[in-house]
């Protein structure tokens, strides 16, 4: 191969806001046949907003939001940011900031923490002193696995919210369900045109891999003209690797994965080319990727492919 063509291609890409870790990756970009895209933060802006809440029987809406915000106060996840922003509009920050200890994110499932028992503002009058209840925010299935009881009537209401295309998270205190919070996100403005350009560039298979639920995933897929057959919801980081491996087989090792999150990092590493969102992407995603799109502009991916094709043409 010609190093000069590679260097020229890398420089052209860099000028267009596409950082490529080396000539090998540029050449691979030029030969792509398949693409796997994360949803939240990649196809969508990842700036979620709380749009609705459904409380469990006997629970006040304020208690539901406050409990969720206490756990999410330290979270960097878009869901956590949205919940904290909603709490900011309703409560004094002192009521939810720094009210928990031992916060722990469970990738692809949710986040948990223990309510501080210092007699401060987080004090729960119904709780036994010294008990330090565990608060959790995350997928209903995760809470259910941990022994949180979910009533049929309530599940039906939650499902109705989810069917409207919302991202849904449930909130629990120990084994008690407090309710669910429904969030909305916006499809990136450039995403429809970017996907059209990628198809034009010869990408035959375009799949969506998301940790979110199927209704929310389908709502985004529909707006982007993605086939429901290639929409994979409720994907754990490990599931995302498996889908990338399947696309690798299908495409003859010519698949790129595009993502932004901690949950995408293993799939980025497994793909023929890993592409990270450069601005809003997490450090872990950037470290696992071979290409970074500065400015998070998805339409740059088709440009990167064009530059890669040109580079290959010069080499051949
Ligand atoms: P995506 O693959 O769409 O980028 P993630 O894997 O980051 O999504 O998240 C998948 C799911 O895990 C979310 O839809 C949510 O149910 C749950 N989850 C992850 N992190 C959190 C959090 N901080 N708070 C609540 N739920 C979370
Ligand atoms: Mg994401």
**Residues counted in the chain:** 316
Pocket around ligand 1 at a 6 A CB cut-off: 38-41, 72, 75, 77, 79-80, 105, 108-111, 137-139, 167, 169, 210-212, 261, 263
- What pLDDT, on a 0 to 100 scale, did the predictor assign at position 28? 96
Give the environment of ion ligand 2: residues with CB less than 5 A: 38, 40-41, 260-261
**CA-closest residue to ligand 1 atom 21:** 110
Query: pLDDT tens digits, residue range 22-77?
Result: 999 999 999 999 999 999 999 999 999 999 999 999 999 999 999 999 999 989 88
The ipTM of this complex is 0.94
- Please, which residues have CB within 8 angstroms of residue 177's CB and are 6 or more apart in sequence? 56, 143, 148, 149, 150, 151, 154, 170, 171
Residue 201 token pair: 């560039």
Query: What is the rounded average pLDDT for all residues in the chain?
Result: 93
Q: What is the pLDDT of residue 119?
A: 44
pLDDT confidence of residue 129: 63
> In angstroms, rounded to a whole number, what is the distance separating the alpha carbons of residues 35 and 57?
44
pLDDT, mean of residues 273-284: 92
Give the confidence band of 131 by pLDDT, cuts at 50, 70, 90. Answer: confident
- At 313, the pLDDT band (50, 70, 90 cuts) reads confident
- Give yes or no for residue 153 having a pLDDT over 50: yes
Query: Above 50 in pLDDT, residue 166?
Result: yes
* Percent of the chain whose pLDDT exceeds 90: 86
295/47 Cα distance (integer angstroms)? 15
In the chain the domains, ranked by start, together with CATH numbers, are 3-45+187-315 (3.40.50.1000), 49-184 (3.40.1110.10)
Task: Report the distance separating Cα 132 and Cα 267, nearest Å.
Answer: 37
Instruction: Report whether pLDDT(1) > 70.
Output: no
pLDDT in tens, 93-130: 999 999 999 999 998 899 999 999 764 454 555 556 67
pLDDT at 314: 77
CA distance 7 to 206: 29
């Amino acid at each position: 191969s010609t190093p000069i063509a590679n260097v020229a291609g890398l420089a052209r890409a860099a000028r267009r806001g596409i950082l490529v870790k080396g000539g090998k990756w540029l050449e691979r970009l030029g030969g792509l046949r398949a693409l796997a895209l994360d949803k939240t933060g990649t196809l969508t802006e990842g700036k979620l907003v709380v749009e609705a809440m459904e409380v469990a029987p006997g629970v006040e809406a304020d208690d539901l939001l406050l409990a969720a915000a206490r756990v999410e106060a330290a979270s960097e996840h878009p869901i956590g940011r949205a919940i904290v922003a909603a709490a900011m509009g309703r409560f004094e920050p002192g009521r939810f900031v720094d009210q928990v200890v031992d916060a722990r994110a469970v990738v692809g499932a949710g986040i948990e923490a223990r309510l501080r028992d210092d007699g401060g503002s987080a004090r729960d009058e119904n709780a036994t002193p010294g008990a330090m209840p565990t608060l959790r925010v995350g997928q209903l299935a995760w809470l259910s696995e941990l022994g949180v009881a979910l009533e049929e009537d309530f599940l039906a209401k939650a499902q109705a919210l989810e069917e409207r295309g919302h991202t849904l998270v449930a909130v629990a205190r120990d084994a008690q369900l407090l309710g669910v919070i429904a969030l909305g996100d916006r499809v990136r403005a450039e995403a429809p045109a970017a996907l059209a350009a990628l198809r034009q560039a010869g990408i035959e298979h375009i799949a969506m891999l998301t940790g979110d639920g199927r209704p929310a995933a389908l709502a985004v897929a529909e707006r982007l003209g993605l086939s429901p057959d290639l929409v994979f919801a409720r994907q754990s980081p490990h599931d995302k690797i498996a889908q990338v491996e399947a696309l690798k087989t299908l495409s003859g090792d010519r698949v790129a994965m595009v993502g932004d999150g901690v949950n995408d990092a293993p799939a980025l590493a497994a793909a023929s080319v890993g592409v990270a969102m450069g601005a809003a992407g997490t450090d872990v995603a950037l470290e696992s990727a071979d290409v970074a799109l500065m400015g998070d502009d998805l339409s740059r991916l088709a440009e990167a492919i064009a530059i890669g094709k040109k580079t290959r043409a010069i080499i051949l």
